[in-house]
């Protein structure tokens, strides 16, 4: 166990979904009721407001397209691109 402080207000669940951004695509790492963490090739500024869409599927069938808006609380460059975490301000089915 480390000394890292957990700042999340809600639980997150490992997921693998496409994230549609104005600047391109990403892939979720985890998703919860208060936020999402995803990876993308495009740099995104911390503290910026971001809108994205997450197509929700079950057994390969599209169920709905989740519209999310929120503040970028973390954006770290990795070897594979950028890892971005958003705290939702709006979540709409």
Q: What is the pLDDT of residues 24-47, one digit of tens each?
A: 999 999 999 899 999 999 999 999
* pLDDT tens, residue by residue, 78-93: 998 999 999 999 999 8
Tokens at residue 12, please?
Answer: 């997150």
Q: 42, 34 in Cβ contact below 8 A?
A: no
pTM for the model: 0.83
Domains and CATH numbers, the chain: 12-92 (2.40.10.220)
Q: Is 3 helix (H, G, I), strand (E, B) or coil?
A: coil
């Amino acid at each position: 166990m480390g000394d890292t402080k957990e700042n999340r207000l809600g639980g997150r669940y490992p997921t693998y979904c496409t994230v549609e951004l104005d600047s391109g695509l990403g892939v979720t790492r985890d998703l919860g009721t208060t936020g999402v963490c995803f990876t993308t090739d495009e740099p995104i500024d911390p503290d910026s407001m971001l809108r994205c869409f997450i197509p929700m599927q079950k057994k390969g069938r599209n169920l709905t397209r989740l519209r999310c808006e929120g503040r970028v609380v973390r954006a770290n460059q990795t070897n594979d691109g950028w890892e971005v975490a958003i705290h939702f301000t709006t979540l709409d089915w």
